[in-house]
Amino acid sequence: MGSTYESALKKFGKAAELMNLDHGIRKILEHPKRQLIVEFPVTMDDDSIEVFTGYRVQHNVALGPAKGGVRYHPNVSLDEVKSLAFWMTFKCAVMGLPYGGAKGGIKIDPKQYSKKELERVSRRYFSEISIVVGPDKDIPAPDVNTTPDIMAWFMDTYSMNVGYSSMGVVTGKPVGLGGSQGRTEATGRGVSTVAALAAKAKGVDISKMTVAIEGFGNVGKYAALIMSKEKGAKVVALSDSKGAVYNSNGFDIEELMKYKDEHGTISDYPKAESKMSNEELKTLDVDILVPAALENSITPEIAKNVKAKIIVEGANGPLMTGADEILNEKGVLIVPDILANAGGVTVSYFEWVQDLQSFFWKKAQVNSALEEMMNNAFEETWKMKEKYSTDMRTAAYIVAINRVAFATKKRGIYP
């Protein structure tokens, strides 16, 4: 087992021990149900052939079909995908969704390929994994470096293979092709909703707080936009892979988003008071820190210097093993990834429901339903935190494990 999966199991294990989880159920949940590795050739624009490696892991399906994103990244590995599928099981369960956890990915740097090459890679990958996916089996969605366009190719590929249009096979599709209103900003909206609830739990209104966000991808930028525009927080620091920018008066996020679209980075944004590294951003004296980049970005060393009072995990697994303990000892309130960034999968669920019913909701309905579900999940987690006198991550796992364990026991073990 690689380090990421071991780290995931440790966090799960802490909750399992505290709640005295049945040993047999624990063994089931510590292992993924299915792991698929596919290696497939694709013809490039110059007629050369490249072979790509892709993965699809289904961790658990006790509560319903598997659900989880597909990422395109040169560092994608089986260990990473397995860990992400594991987290998805508990993310869906903590939100009360009728899903199990899955994840997929291709080992590829999409920036190195043309749009046509990416389309061929995407279609071939989806054909290869179609033996395990389907609207009643496993419903993929976007993740790192995958877009609504890629989801449209996935949907079309699957539809061509089965002989009819199957809208519900993937979520995160373009609106107008079975996609849902509000899906693009859903994860960022969920992050900002729980950030406001965490602030309230600390006895402060979020509008009086300063925020630093690591990562200006889909999650980071929409969390920044909604926190500043709708919740009234002051977002003073933001970063992307090229570096971080700081402004003590807060940023105009819409303007910053336009700048990123035009220049490809925010690191040279002229209205910033100063530039800094991603590491410096994480140790700024702010109220709320949102790590919304990749996993393991906050090491124990960085954790020692974190000054934020609240951490809201926009990314999956952004705290390295050991960082949790340091931050908990310092009294930092950590809203864990399986709760904090569950807005994306929740609106994916809404999209799937809309596709199956061929009845589509207005954006206000989507946002209102999302905020209600995030509120409920936060409250249930907070109650569990107080019941067991533990941290939010362990409490969220207890809420989720209880639901998966109940379904597993009631269903029994076949045969």
- Do residue 362 and residue 396 come from a single domain? yes
The pLDDT value recorded for residue 317 is 86
Work out the average pLDDT over 133-155.
96
Q: Please state the length of the chain.
A: 415
The angle that helices 78-94 and 343-357 make with each other, rounded to 10 degrees, is 80
pLDDT above 90 covers what percent of the chain? 95
Residue 2, pLDDT above cutoff 60: no
Residue 41 resides in a domain: yes
CATH number at residue 288: 3.40.50.720
Residue 10 resides in a domain: no
Residue 396, pLDDT above cutoff 80: yes
- Do residue 261 and residue 316 come from a single domain? yes
pLDDT digits over 10-50, tens only?
989 999 999 999 999 999 999 999 999 999 999 999 999 99
For residues 253-292, b (16+ Cβ closer than 10 Å) or e, as one string?
A: beebbebbeeeeebbebeebeeebebbbbbbbebbbbbbb
- Do residue 192 and residue 334 come from a single domain? yes
CA-nearest of 97, 96, 74, 100 to 86 is 100
Phi, psi of 240 (to 5 degrees): -130, -170
The pLDDT value recorded for residue 281 is 97
CA distances from 124 to 103, 150, 173, 307 (A): 17, 12, 18, 47
Cα 202 to Cα 334: distance, rounded to the nearest angstrom: 12
Residue 69's domain comprises 31-169
Q: Model-level pTM? A: 0.95
pLDDT digits over 303-360, tens only?
999 999 999 999 988 998 889 999 999 999 999 999 999 999 999 999 999 999 999 9
User: Catalytic pick from 67, 103, 231, 234?
Assistant: 103
Work out the average pLDDT over 168-183.
97
Sign of CA dihedral 276, 278, 282, 283: negative
Cα 99 to Cα 92: distance, rounded to the nearest angstrom: 6
Residue 282, pLDDT above cutoff 90: yes
Average pLDDT, the chain: 96
Cα 169 to Cα 132: distance, rounded to the nearest angstrom: 11
Is 103 a residue of the active site? yes
Residue 223 resides in a domain: yes
- Do residue 158 and residue 187 come from a single domain? no
Catalogue the E-assigned strands of 75-154: 100-107, 138-142
β-strands 49-60, 100-107: how paired? antiparallel
Residue 411 resides in a domain: yes
- Do residue 112 and residue 197 come from a single domain? no
Work out the average pLDDT over 200-213.
97
The pLDDT value recorded for residue 401 is 98
Residue 332 three-state SS: coil
Confidence of residue 1 (pLDDT cuts 50, 70, 90): very low
